């Protein structure tokens, strides 16, 4: 089994399904260019049948970006697939991504089809897509709540029909990591022809487990992970790709797997997606949040100043953040305080430092974060002029 994990970015499709988010063509193009610099393998640029705007955006991305596969989503019917191909046809490498649900709950209430009818629709869709491009991905929507033997039957049939990637979505974010890993293993063991295709996962974050489930699936043999930048997406969002990739990178000792990501572009990409979608990144968000490399407590600051790896498992520069940040607050210690004053150009005597540190601590009891201006005021107004 290959040790390369393919990264499928769906920021422009599932990410854009975040309530309140709508990207115009120009914004989609800006994000697509940045995703190319980031080194994703596949950009899902949209769902062309859904609107003329989405069609035009997929077409624009397909015509412009190079060195990356461009995918368009299509339900398992000919009209959607024809529209997806029309939008994708000028891409350097085009992928049609077609899907149909496989769980009994979706079959009964949404599709009103029986299991045989779904197999038939899936096979027909893949065969139709195959007339346009050799690269066809098939997704079994709500796979994680589907019967494993039925899912294996559907996948076996679509592989025979020519699918090159089979995707196992946890559409409603219901799976638990160990259970999902076992499920992936069982699907792989029971699907005829599985060795000919790439197994993919697509996890949603309804229970906050999208990244954990994606990593568990990779551990079980999946070699494509789908997700979005900053984890945006339908409802609670998708797996945050920057977290998946940094998980694989930081724990290479455990997984032994690589991606094509240029991790130094992560932070820039996160900022761009946040500003164009209008979705702020929470301060404590892993990898890209404002506090991800900030240390407030004195014990932690002292450790980081002595040796960064005492409290940092990733180097901020690896994700494109200039340096870790020691935040001065009431838990901070003398070591970080003295270093920050030195950075600001103040070299105080021991007595001055003692006095300034006491003033700093009493100010920190009243104010959550002490800024450089506060420090300057402490030293200039209160220490040097007494």
Determine the Cα–Cα distance for residues 273 and 279; give it in Å rounded to an integer. 8
Pair 56, 27: CB distance under 8 Å:
no
DSSP state of 4: B
Q: Spell out where the chain has E strands.
A: 6-9, 42-46, 69-75, 93-101, 136-141, 165-170, 198-203, 224-227, 294-295, 325-326
Q: Does 202 bind ligand KIV (CB under 6 A)?
A: yes
User: What's 274-290 look like in SS3?
Assistant: HHHHCCCCCCCCCCCCC
CB closer to ligand KIV, 46 vs 169:
169
Three-state DSSP class for 21? coil
Among positions 6, 8, 12, 14, the unique one binding ligand KIV when judged by CB under 6 A: 14
Q: Does 8 bind ligand KIV (CB under 6 A)?
A: no
Determine the Cα–Cα distance for residues 320 and 291; give it in Å rounded to an integer. 14
Among positions 46, 48, 72, 169, the unique one binding ligand KIV when judged by CB under 6 A: 169
Which residues 287-326 are close enough to bind ligand KIV by CB under 6 A?
none
Which of these ranges, 77-85, 145-153, 165-173, 361-369, lies near ligand KIV under the rule CB under 6 A?
165-173
Contact characters 76-115, ligand KIV, x per CB under 6 A: -----------------------x----------------
202 annotated as ligand-binding: yes
Q: Does 54 bind ligand KIV (CB under 6 A)?
A: no
Q: Does 139 bind ligand KIV (CB under 6 A)?
A: yes
Residue 13 beta carbon to ligand KIV: minimum distance, rounded to whole angstroms: 8
Q: Residue 342, exposed/middle/buried by CB under 10 A (0-12, 13-18, 19+)?
A: exposed
Which of these ranges, 163-171, 213-221, 319-327, 372-380, lies near ligand KIV under the rule CB under 6 A?
163-171
Pair 173, 142: CB distance under 8 Å:
no
Among positions 93, 171, 200, 230, the unique one binding ligand KIV when judged by CB under 6 A: 171
Q: Does 213 bind ligand KIV (CB under 6 A)?
A: no
CB closer to ligand KIV, 73 vs 321:
73
Determine the Cα–Cα distance for residues 178 and 189; give it in Å rounded to an integer. 17
Task: Report in angstroms the alpha-carbon separations of 251 from 38, 247, 254, 256, 320.
Answer: 20, 6, 5, 8, 19
Q: Does 265 bind ligand KIV (CB under 6 A)?
A: no
Determine the Cα–Cα distance for residues 342 and 330; give it in Å rounded to an integer. 19
Residue 18 beta carbon to Zn ion: minimum distance, rounded to whole angstroms: 11
Which residues sit in the known binding site?
14, 202, 204, 238
Which residues sit in the known binding site for Mn(2+)?
14, 202, 204, 238
Binding site for ligand KIV (CB under 6 A): 14, 99, 139, 141, 167, 169, 171, 202, 204
């Amino acid at each position: 089994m290959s040790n390369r994990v393919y990264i499928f970015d769906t920021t422009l499709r599932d990410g854009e399904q975040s309530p309140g988010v709508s990207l115009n063509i120009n914004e989609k193009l800006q994000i697509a260019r940045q995703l190319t610099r980031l080194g994703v393998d596949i950009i899902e640029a949209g769902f062309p049948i859904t609107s003329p705007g989405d069609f035009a955006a997929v077409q624009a991305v397909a015509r412009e970006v190079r060195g990356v596969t461009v995918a368009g989503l299509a339900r398992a019917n000919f009209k959607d697939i024809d529209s997806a191909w029309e939008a994708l046809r000028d891409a350097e490498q085009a992928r049609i991504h077609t899907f149909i649900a496989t769980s009994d709950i979706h079959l009964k209430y949404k599709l009103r089809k029986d299991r045989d009818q779904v197999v038939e629709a899936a096979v027909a869709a893949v065969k139709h897509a195959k007339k346009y491009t050799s690269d066809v991905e098939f997704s079994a929507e709500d796979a994680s709540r589907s019967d494993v033997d039925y899912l294996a039957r559907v996948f076996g049939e679509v592989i025979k029909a020519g699918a090159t990637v089979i995707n196992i979505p946890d559409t409603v974010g219901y799976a638990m990591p160990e259970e999902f890993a076992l499920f992936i293993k069982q699907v792989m063991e029971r699907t005829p022809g599985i060795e000919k295709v790439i197994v993919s996962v697509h996890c949603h974050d309804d229970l906050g487990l999208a990244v954990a489930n994606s990593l568990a699936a990779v551990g079980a043999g999946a070699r494509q992970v789908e997700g979005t930048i900053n984890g945006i997406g339908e409802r609670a969002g998708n797996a945050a790709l920057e977290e998946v990739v940094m998980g694989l990178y930081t724990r290479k000792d455990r997984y032994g797997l690589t991606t094509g990501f240029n991790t130094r572009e992560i932070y820039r990409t996160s900022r761009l997606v946040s500003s164009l979608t209008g979705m702020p990144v929470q301060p404590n968000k892993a990898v890209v949040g404002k506090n991800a490399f900030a240390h407030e407590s004195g014990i932690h600051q002292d450790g980081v100043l002595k040796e960064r790896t005492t409290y940092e498992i990733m180097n901020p520069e690896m994700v494109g953040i200039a340096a870790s940040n020691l935040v001065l607050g009431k838990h901070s210690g003398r070591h970080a305080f003295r270093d920050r004053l030195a950075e600001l150009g103040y070299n105080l005597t021991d007595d001055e430092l003692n006095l300034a540190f006491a003033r700093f601590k009493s100010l920190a009891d009243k104010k959550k974060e002490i800024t450089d201006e506060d420090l300057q005021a402490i030293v200039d107004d209160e220490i040097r002029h007494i």
